[in-house]
């Protein structure tokens, strides 16, 4: 689908507009949690299942955030659709096996300060938190349960129900569900897919310097180097005066 055919923010159905509310939409992998070990291990298993050579870590991490179908289409553009389907399923199976392994406690830890920052934002009455992730609903539920984040995110947008990033469907759905205007919302992420999705959805963009895409490629409105800087960045982009 071309960018010109994407829905635009002014078409969002706002059920109950509340001008004082602000919305922080968060990516997960590479932004809130460091899931690279899990992702690379599952990818290696997927490639091995089809007797294909494993790609280097940087290439694998470059597609984090995309839906699995789109990720494998980019990683293996010359592979037929049937084989790509096998790769997707093998990746899912390996990922689920890793979750059930004895080492699962060490997998996908939250980045330093992430949990504290989310809880601090959640404690502010005028701020709502949402998720827009390439994870499946099952994967997001597991992450939330593991890190004790139940009840934090009022809108949860996952790959099961939307086109792959950078299509803005997830951002537009989060805006619609919360009734927050685009100029009062931001997208927090670590990849160009997150930034492009946020811009296409009409919201401000905050890039993190610790993620899976080189920081110089993000073209975000604001780049932060730690979670302590997040509240100020949100305030600046949503026009909130402290």
Could you report the per-residue pLDDT of 143-192, keeping only the tens digit for each? 898 899 999 999 999 988 999 899 999 999 999 999 999 999 999 999 99
Whether residues 143 and 216 fall in one domain: yes
Whether residues 16 and 98 fall in one domain: no
Point out the domain boundary residue: 59, 74, 106.
106
Pinpoint the alpha helices (H) of 18-80.
36-49, 57-61, 68-75
- 14/22 Cα distance (integer angstroms): 14
Point out the domain boundary residue: 76, 106, 136.
106
Whether residues 41 and 29 fall in one domain: no
For residues 83-92, average pLDDT: 92
- 242/239 Cα distance (integer angstroms): 10
Please report the pLDDT score of residue 13 as a whole number: 37
CB atoms within 10 A of CB 14: 12
Whether residues 7 and 29 fall in one domain: yes
CATH of the domain at 64: 1.10.150
Whether residues 187 and 228 fall in one domain: yes
Residue 57's domain spans which residues? 36-106
Q: Based on the structure, what is the number of domains in the chain?
A: 2
pLDDT greater than 80 at residue 98: no
For residues 101-129, average pLDDT: 84
Whether residues 92 and 136 fall in one domain: no
Point out the domain boundary residue: 52, 76, 106.
106
The two beta strands, 185-189 and 127-132, are: unpaired
Please report the pLDDT score of residue 38 as a whole number: 87
- Quickly tell me which residue has 């001008």 as its tokens: 19
Which of 237, 208, 210, 236 has its CA nearest to residue 224?
208
Q: Provide the pLDDT confidence category of residue 12 given band limits of 50, 70 and 90.
A: very low
Whether residues 159 and 79 fall in one domain: no
Whether residues 57 and 117 fall in one domain: no
CA distances from 13 to 16, 168, 187 (A): 9, 15, 19
- Could you list the beta-strand ranges (E) of 104-212: 127-132, 153-157, 185-189, 204-208
Whether residues 127 and 217 fall in one domain: yes
Highest mean pLDDT: which range of 24-28, 41-45, 76-80, 215-219: 24-28
pTM of the model: 0.83
CATH of the domain at 156: 3.40.50.1000
Q: What is the pLDDT of residues 193-230, one digit of tens each?
A: 999 999 999 999 999 999 999 999 999 999 999 999 99
Whether residues 160 and 95 fall in one domain: no
Whether residues 82 and 142 fall in one domain: no
- 226/130 Cα distance (integer angstroms): 19
Please report the pLDDT score of residue 159 as a whole number: 87
Q: Which strands form 127-132's sheet, in the order they lie side by side?
A: 153-157, 127-132, 22-26, 185-189, 204-208, 222-224
């Amino acid at each position: 689908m071309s960018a010109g055919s994407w829905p635009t923010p002014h078409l969002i159905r706002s059920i109950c507009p509340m001008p004082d509310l602000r919305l922080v939409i968060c990516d997960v992998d590479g932004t809130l949690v460091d899931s690279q070990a899990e992702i690379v291990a599952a990818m290696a298993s997927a490639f091995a299942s089809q007797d294909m050579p494993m790609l280097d870590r940087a290439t694998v991490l470059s597609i984090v955030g995309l839906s699995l179908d789109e990720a494998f289409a980019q990683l293996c553009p010359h592979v037929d659709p049937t084989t790509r389907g096998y790769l997707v399923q093998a990746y899912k199976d390996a990922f689920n096996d890793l979750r059930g392994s004895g080492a699962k406690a060490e997998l996908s830890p939250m980045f330093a300060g992430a949990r504290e920052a989310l809880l601090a934002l959640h404690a502010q009455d005028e701020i709502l938190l949402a998720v827009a992730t390439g994870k499946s609903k099952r994967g997001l539920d597991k992450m939330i349960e593991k890190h004790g984040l139940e009840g934090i995110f009022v809108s949860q947008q996952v790959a099961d129900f939307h086109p792959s990033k950078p299509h803005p469907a997830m951002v537009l759905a989060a805006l619609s569900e919360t009734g927050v205007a685009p100029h009062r919302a931001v997208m927090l992420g670590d990849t160009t897919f997150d930034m492009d999705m946020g811009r296409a959805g009409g919201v401000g963009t905050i890039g993190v310097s610790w993620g899976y895409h080189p920081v110089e490629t993000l073209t975000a409105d604001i780049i932060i180097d730690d979670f302590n800087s997040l509240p100020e960045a949100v305030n600046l982009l949503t026009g909130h005066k402290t």
